[in-house]
Amino acid sequence: METKLKILHLEDSPFDAELVERELKKGKIVFEKIVVDNREAFEEALDNFIPDIILSDHSLPSFDSAGALEIVNQKCPETPVILVTATVSEEFAVNILQHGAADYILKTNLSRLPSAVLRAIEKSRMIREREHAETELKHSYLQIRRLASHLQNIREEERASMAREIHDELGQQLTSLKLDVNWLLLKLNGVEAQVVEKVSNMEKHLMNALVTVKKLASELHPALLDKLGLIEAIRWQSKEFEKRTGIKITLDLPDTLKEISTKTNIALFRIYQESLTNVARHSGATNVFCSLQPNNGDLLLTITDDGKGFDVAATEQQHSLGLLGMRERSVMIGGKYEITSEPGKGTKVLAILPFKEIEHPDYNL
């Protein structure tokens, strides 16, 4: 190896320590080694010498390899430990490996030591690199999710702003036009029927346009959600869904809900909207049951249908954006989202969200 290894050797026999050094040199390993023979010196070397690898005899007068391994696991678990001893039972060898030792070498077979050292060092390096990569990846995921959460908040703010603009500006302008057309109709006495019919059609078109404006504004951001809260918004959405699809919805909702954060309100309502959209598009259901109940600081939203169901695993492999969006909405405020379904057995959606969103939650990656 090009770099010099720092080796800590726990050994009370100078002769055995010399034999180990000879074998390492035969293996062309460049190293710096210190030898200790008691617990105090061992702990001091771990703190100050900071070894790359530890070689340990099994039994010393006041210390043994099991005690050394326990200390290493506490202080520097990434540092590999190789047991170098005269004889050990097979049971002990298995036990020491299970407790974190990288390998064990019998003093009667020291020729295997250099390759064992190189292998342990390489394995330790790979583990550190993998852990570093996993940490970086998790950090990247967290950053992406925080960005997604920020963009989601901006999107909801823009939707609310657009809904207000459509309702207040466009709605008022259309209402003003409708009043003008009504005024015209009152002034059309004696005018030919074709003109009256034309103006009447204009009034009908304006009425339809007002209905469309109201519908668009509500779908962008229902005013009920801000004014009367989540429960009334769910009731309104359910009635609109029943009118549009003919699918019956049975609701089990509390009378009131207090102290729900804005993000939780919006997340639950959007999950409900998306779930109903999926029911209408894919389920073939005739009935939907929705329950919203508080439970130990969380809100449990359950949506169940009696439709044809589907293979959840297969759908997730297809990266369904709808399902992904609902899961992300839940996770970003510290909640959970689950969907269970089987072909022929309907579908159940469960969203568990905190009353108050958790600041920078652990995303359970």
Q: pLDDT tens, position by position, for the chain (365 residues)?
A: 457 899 999 999 999 999 999 999 999 999 999 999 999 999 999 999 999 999 998 888 788 888 899 999 999 999 999 999 887 777 777 888 888 888 988 888 899 999 999 999 999 889 888 988 888 888 777 777 677 666 766 777 777 778 777 867 787 888 888 888 888 888 888 778 888 888 888 889 888 888 888 778 777 777 777 777 889 889 988 998 999 899 999 999 998 887 788 888 888 888 998 899 889 988 899 999 999 998 888 899 999 999 998 887 776 555 566 677 778 778 878 888 899 988 888 999 999 988 876 554 554 44
Q: Tell me whether residue 143 is in a domain.
A: no
My answer on whether 234 and 356 are in the same domain is yes
Pairing of strands 31-36, 53-56: unpaired
What CATH number is attached to the domain comprising 318? 3.30.565.10
Identity of the residue numbered 225? L
| Confidence (pLDDT) at 359 | 54
Q: Tell me whether residue 29 is in a domain.
A: yes
| Confidence (pLDDT) at 1 | 44
Q: Tell me whether residue 13 is in a domain.
A: yes
Contact 56, 83 (CB under 8 A): yes
| Confidence (pLDDT) at 321 | 61
My answer on whether 236 and 362 are in the same domain is yes
* Residue at a domain's end among 81, 110, 131: 131
Q: Tell me whether residue 169 is in a domain.
A: no
Angle at 91 between CA 87 and CA 94, to 5 degrees: 95
Q: Tell me whether residue 137 is in a domain.
A: no
- The closest of 358, 299, 311 to 339, measured between CA atoms, is 311
- Domain range for 111: 5-131
Q: Tell me whether residue 282 is in a domain.
A: yes
DSSP string for residues in 172-227: HHHHHHHHHHHHHHHT-TTS-HHHHHHHHHHHHHHHHHHHHHHHHHHHHS-HHHHH
My answer on whether 120 and 232 are in the same domain is no
My answer on whether 242 and 124 are in the same domain is no
Measured distance CA(310)–CA(281) in Å, rounded: 13
Q: Tell me whether residue 89 is in a domain.
A: yes
My answer on whether 239 and 109 are in the same domain is no
* Residue at a domain's end among 131, 158, 192: 131
My answer on whether 121 and 245 are in the same domain is no
| Confidence (pLDDT) at 357 | 60
Per the prediction, the chain carries an average pLDDT of 84
Q: Number of structural domains, the chain?
A: 2
Q: Tell me whether residue 256 is in a domain.
A: yes
Angle at 350 between CA 344 and CA 355, to 5 degrees: 170
Q: Is the pTM of this model over 0.75?
A: no
* Residue at a domain's end among 131, 152, 182: 131
Helix (H) / strand (E) containing 359? none
Q: Which residue has the tokens 């990266």?
A: 319
3-state helix, strand, coil in the chain (%, to 5): 60, 15, 25
My answer on whether 121 and 246 are in the same domain is no
| Confidence (pLDDT) at 191 | 79
Burial pattern 300-320, b for ≥16 Cβ within 10 A else e, equals bbbbbbbbbbbebeeeeeeeb
My answer on whether 232 and 354 are in the same domain is yes
| Confidence (pLDDT) at 181 | 85
Residue 99 neighbours by CB under 8 Å, 6+ apart = 66, 69, 70, 73
My answer on whether 235 and 361 are in the same domain is yes
- The closest of 300, 251, 239 to 271, measured between CA atoms, is 300
My answer on whether 126 and 234 are in the same domain is no
